[in-house]
Amino acid sequence: MPDLRESLSLLRKNNDIREINDEFNTVLEISSLANYYQKNNGPALLFNKPQGFNNKVIIGLFGTQRRFESLMGRTINEISDDFTSLFETISSKPGILDGLKLFSKLKNFSINDVSSGPVKHSYGDITLDDIPILKNWPKDGGKFITAPVVITKDPETGTYNAGTYRMQVYDSETTGMHWQTQKTGAMHLLKAKKMHRNLDVAVAIGVHPSIMFSSISPLPEGIDEMAFAGYLSGQKVPVVHGDTVDLRYPAESEIVLEGYVDPEETKEEGPFGDHTGYYTPVDMYPVFHIKRIYHRENFIYHSILVGKYWNEDVPIGRAIERDVGGKMIIDATKKGMSEGIRREWPEKIEVDENEILKEKMKKYVL
Ligand SMILES: Cc1cc2nc3c(=O)[nH]c(=O)nc-3n(C[C@H](O)[C@H](O)[C@H](O)COP(=O)(O)O)c2cc1C
């Protein structure tokens, strides 16, 4: 399967990436340049020498719709068509001929279990302090990992989930885990709590855009994000098994953090300059403890910058829920759900987060 590095090669070919060889600081400097480029429809930025670090930072991967579509290999409308088609296929009762069509459609809707991969190149030689994680906005509570693929398993059923939830760096081996209460990761933790055990968590950073997109998409529970990424990209995602966690993760990730969350432990998280254009205030969230960090040789750290409109998650959001494509995805999701769940689904999703938050959070304006 193509990985993050192949995506960067594609951007080079398209002349849609700018390599920065001057030293920029990970505290506010990289983000302010990235913000400038983002607001001006500029290329993605690859910082070759973040000040004080040995590894590169890629930011702005999804900064324009054109770039997002070229990295995904299809337009936003095609992505939503794929989504609709997947759900129609899964929910249909095929005859023999349809069965063949079904097989060809779903042949990549699966994962490829492999015994090793580039991410297993090294472990034990770095901590969070060696990764060029950014502080994006002046009043942010610290540095945040903003493009993680957080992988957990339902402790009862063993069903996998991947979601993107920001992670505030507390020290060299712990971070916050900002999964909101309705998100699948939080639900897995709740089940672990009932079973009086910690929840294994693996965090992949620097993956192919189709994996990142799957992690962000509100897929119905039970649909494996890695399988969906394979379906989208046309190639099964190779996954390796963790060593200190009972989880599998993309073998071609740049970095993987293996660790756990203790359901009894929370800590202050935030503030964070969010995609609404406002700071989300400090609140209590679970803590992620790192047991081991795996990384590729010369790993590249991927960061997503959000903030005031236009920001990097607009093209992603459009594909998911804002635009024509998004509506189709939501409709398709509803179609794929059982009657019971569908009854709970709001008929119109028209909440303008910006408007609600503007009033409530004036004091947090960026
Ligand atoms: C850049 C970015 C950052 C995000 N950060 C968070 C976050 O901190 N917390 C959260 O609950 N959701 C966050 N989301 C949204 C989730 O990734 C999204 O709701 C996803 O579908 C969650 O997966 P789940 O339904 O499997 O829990 C973020 C999305 C993007 C694009």
Domain boundaries, the chain: 4-364
Q: State whether the beta carbon of 180 lies less than 6 angstroms from ligand 1.
A: yes
Q: Residue 102 C-alpha to ligand 1 middle, in angstroms? A: 31
Q: Average of pLDDT values for 18-35?
A: 97
Question: Is 44:11 a contact under the CB 8 Å cutoff?
Answer: yes
pLDDT digit string (tens) for 172-220?
Answer: 999 999 999 989 999 999 999 999 999 999 999 999 999 999 999 888 7
pLDDT digit string (tens) for 135-178?
Answer: 999 999 999 999 999 999 999 999 999 999 999 999 999 999 99
Q: Active-site residue among 82, 224, 274, 313?
A: 274
Measured in residues, the chain has a length of: 366
140 assigned to active site: no
pLDDT at 356: 39
The residues facing 135 across adjacent strands are 27
Helix (H, G, I), strand (E, B), or coil: what is residue 351? coil
Higher pLDDT, 342 or 302: 302
Alpha-carbon torsion (226, 230, 233, 236), positive or negative: positive
Q: State whether the beta carbon of 218 lies less than 6 angstroms from ligand 1.
A: yes
Burial environment of residue 244 by CB neighbours within 10 A (0 to 12, 13 to 18, 19 or more): middle
The overall average pLDDT reported for the chain is 86
Q: Residue 183 C-alpha to ligand 1 middle, in angstroms? A: 8
CATH assignment of 4-364, given 3.40.50.300, 2.30.110.10, 1.10.1060.10, 3.60.20.10? 2.30.110.10
Q: State whether the beta carbon of 161 lies less than 6 angstroms from ligand 1.
A: yes
- Measuring from atom 13 of ligand 1, which residue has the nearest CA? 165
Counting atoms of ligand 1 from 1, which one is nearest the CA of 167? 8
Q: State whether the beta carbon of 74 lies less than 6 angstroms from ligand 1.
A: no
pLDDT digit string (tens) for 284-320?
Answer: 999 999 999 999 999 999 999 999 888 888 888 877 7
What is the rounded CA–CA span in Å between residue 49 and residue 62?
21
Q: State whether the beta carbon of 228 lies less than 6 angstroms from ligand 1.
A: no
Strand 144-145 versus strand 148-153 pairing type? unpaired
pLDDT at 73: 92
